[in-house]
Amino acid sequence: MSDDLPDDSEGQRQATSGKAQDPSAPTLNEMLARIERGLKYVPALQVVIGGLALATAIASWWVARSNAEMVRQFNSNTQRPYVGMETVRLIEPDTNSFQAQVVLKNFGNVPAKGVKVTQRTLIAGNELNAYSVPHEDVLFPGTGSTATSDLPMGSREKIKRGELTLELDIKVDYSSFMGQHTTGIRLRYERGVFIPVHHTVD
């Protein structure tokens, strides 16, 4: 009777053998081959990551540099003196004097130091006089200073009538903690008023 029964241990060996030889499971050699192929991309990936890191560093440097330049430009445009002309007119202090009077003012927000004025006077295109003198040791914000030039009494009436052209060429040199600065002003007297011809600020 025992000879007719199937051998259970033989069936178990067949089942176990069937599971071990699943055709969908990769073999050890295939797994090793896949790993080897994957490792080939590691150097390229490292290059990409390194390139991204370098690009990020360059971008950060450029942004920091741009911000620093913006701050420098803002400071140079706002934290500095601006010495310019406030008023200009012809005056006659007495019967024997005829002068052109220019009132300079510091329109900036920091003091102007070592103010030096160079002034040229031209009548009918001919230079009458030119001089350069230290003007003010310090010109504080909002304060003014006067520069005058003597004119010939014999030309007074012709200048006033517009028969002779009067021009004033003024250069103001000064300094601050930002460096050296220069203001250039050129004026022409026409029909009773001075007209700005040229104006520069450095």
Q: Is the pLDDT of residue 49 over 70?
A: no
Long-range CB pairs of 33-42 (<8 Å, 24+ gap) are none
Question: What percent of the chain is modeled with pLDDT above 90?
Answer: 21
The 3-class SS string of 91-128 reads ECCCCCCCEEEEEEEECCCCCEEEEEEEEEEEECCEEE
Handedness of CA 84, 195, 197, 148 (dihedral sign): negative
Element spanning 185, H or E: strand 179-190
Task: Give 6-38 pLDDT, tens digit per residue.
Answer: 455 555 544 444 445 556 666 767 666 766 666
Predicted confidence band of residue 106 (pLDDT cuts 50, 70, 90) = very high
Across the range 164-182, mean pLDDT stands at 91
Task: Give 73-94 pLDDT, tens digit per residue.
Answer: 555 567 889 999 898 999 888 8
List C-alpha distances in Å: 127 to 16, 132, 151.
Answer: 118, 14, 11
Nearest residue to 154 (alpha-carbon basis) of 119, 124, 131: 124
Q: What is the pTM of this model?
A: 0.60
Predicted confidence band of residue 145 (pLDDT cuts 50, 70, 90) = confident
